[in-house]
Amino acid sequence: MTILIFIIVLWYSGLFFQTFFLHRYAAHQSFKMSKFGEKLCFVLTWITQGSNYLSAYGYGVMHRMHHAFADTEKDPHSPKYDPNLFAMMWRTKNIYADINNYKIQIEEKFTKNVPQWKKFDQFASSWFSRIGWGIFYTTFFILFANHWWEWLLLPVAYLMAPIHGVIINWFAHIYGYTNFKVSDTSKNLLRFDWLMMGEAYHNNHHKHGGRPNFGGIRWYEIDPTYLIMLLLEKMKLIKLNRVAIKPTREK
């Protein structure tokens, strides 16, 4: 039971900072917060993602490219141009690394105002940090795993962020339903997104990229991350961008 709780905490805490900080803030700037809050989110992203840490700059730039080039040959991750999900994620990893290491030329529209903390990213993305977190996860399993099958969850801890990426970037472009006609294959993977904290409303998001609420088009589309964001706004920790808050579904 301890191992299952540990995996659930890693899943949802890492996922929250991926969707809240990396996606809705860094890539789409759907809300504002103080510089202190931004720095705190960098640190909390590192703590919650651990060995899977993703740079806000690398993620933000790559995700903007995904929206601009969705399901074309320039898309950093598209099931349409890769034979399987492993090939897609390997290509995604290489593009992400090239962006972070400034190995490719990026148009200014993809980099404008994307938050960046170079020194922290260098530390959090280092092998020293990633291996350190891996040792911590392994030690935790040694201390608390009581059944052989629990060890099957250790690779999930090591690769949590890529698993999150596969679910949305692969499966949410193949399975699900659509509310809007868009120029790509994005779909809403779940009707009530209990698994991905709102990220599964992928078709909604591709239609209204800057909208803080990924759900809310149909009555059952509840976006847990957006509810947390409303609470944070009431606490005056963030300020939501209310452009296109209530779009109507296409008939």
What pLDDT was estimated at residue 12?
98
Between the two ends of the chain, the Cα-to-Cα distance in Å is 46
One DSSP character per residue, 16-57 reads: HHIIIIIIIIIIT--EEE-HHHHHHHHHHHHHHHGGG---HH
Q: How many CB atoms lie within 10 A of CB 128?
A: 10
- Which pLDDT score, from 0 to 100, does residue 242 have? 79
Which pLDDT does position 246 carry in this prediction?
53
* pLDDT tens by residue, the chain, 251 residues: 999 999 999 999 999 999 999 999 999 999 999 999 999 999 999 999 999 999 999 999 999 999 999 999 999 999 988 899 999 999 999 999 999 999 999 999 999 999 999 999 999 999 999 999 999 999 999 999 999 999 999 999 999 999 999 999 999 999 999 999 999 999 999 999 999 999 999 999 999 999 999 999 999 999 999 999 999 999 999 999 976 545 555 54
Query: How many angstroms separate the CA atoms of 101 and 186, rounded?
Result: 29
Distant-in-sequence, close-in-space partners of 231: CB < 8 Å, separation ≥ 6: none
* Cβ–Cβ < 8 Å for 114, 42: no
Q: Angle CA(233)–CA(196)–CA(234) in degrees, nearest 5? A: 10
pLDDT for 143: 98
Three-state secondary structure string covering 122-147: HHHCCHHHHHHHHHHHHHHHHHHCCC
- This prediction has a pTM of 0.94
Q: What is the DSSP letter of 201?
A: B
Residues 228, 229, 231: CA angle, nearest 5 degrees: 65
